A and B are shown apart, each in its own frame.
Chain A
Amino acid sequence: SQTIHQWPATLVQPVGSPLSLECTVEGTSNPNLYWYRQAAGRGLQLLFYSVGIGQISSEVPQNLSASRPQDRQFILSSKKLLLSDSGFYLCAWSPPRQLRFTDTQYFGPGTRLTVL
């Protein structure tokens, strides 16, 4: 069966510091991968998605970036965190085929980021 891992579970970082959040998926090959953010009191927002190694699509312009160095690894990064980057970050995967947003997406446990 497929499982998805995220770490760390919680993170407190000062403004201006770098960020690296990692997501890995087990039990499937060539999954579609997604990064979402849920800011306090707001709905989930799609940040990035990837259909394969090195292929990243950005949905919202911001100071975040994503990379996919391996088939089942998705990394969310920032060079300098802002206060507005605080939130709950979720990684998700969907079945490995041509990108279809109608597929059910399976979410990881999330990372709660607080920027002070």
Chain B
Amino acid sequence: KNEVEQSPQNLTAQEGEFITINCSYSVGISALHWLQQHPGGGIVSLFMLSSGKKKHGRLIATINIQEKHSSLHITASHPRDSAVYICAVNRAHYGGSQGNLIFGKGTKLSVKP
């Protein structure tokens, strides 16, 4: 079982819909990241969270440390939001042997006009 699981793997939405992408993790963490990977491959960091909620434009990210779960929400979705969204976590106790930053496999979002 992967230490970081995202759902769904693929998501198709109509323009204007409210979108939720989920991330669950099984290790102790010090922070969680949401990243956006565009079709050409470049990655943009959207949020870094250690608690609570952050908002940037139409994007909202929340984290529940007790439940080991985070969600990324997109309000009023638009075709330009189409991308792969990746969740990544920082291990809380980094031993240096396995790599501190653990990534999920991503959620591919397609927003249709």
Contact = CB atoms under 8 A, between A and B. Distances in A.
A101 B101 contact: yes
- The main secondary structure of chain A at its interface with chain B is loop
B63 interface: no
Nearest to B100: A101
Given A44-B86, A109-B42, A104 B103 contact: no
B4 A107 contact: no
B20 interface: no
A27 to B, nearest CB: 16
A107 B99 contact: no
Contacts of B4: 43
Contacts, number: 56
Contacts of A108: 42
B86 A46 contact: no
Interface in B82-103: 86, 88, 90-91, 94, 96, 98-101, 103
Interface residues on A, range: 20 to 34
A102 interface: yes
Contact of A101 (B44, B45, B86, B90): B90
Interface of B: 2, 4, 30-31, 33, 35, 40-45, 48, 50, 86, 88, 90-91, 94, 96, 98-101, 103-106
24 contacts: A43-B4, A43-B106, A44-B86, A44-B103, A45-B99, A46-B100, A57-B96, A60-B99, A101-B31, A101-B90, A101-B94, A102-B31, A102-B48, A104-B33, A105-B101, A106-B45, A107-B35, A107-B42, A109-B41, A109-B42, A110-B41, A110-B42, A110-B43, A112-B41
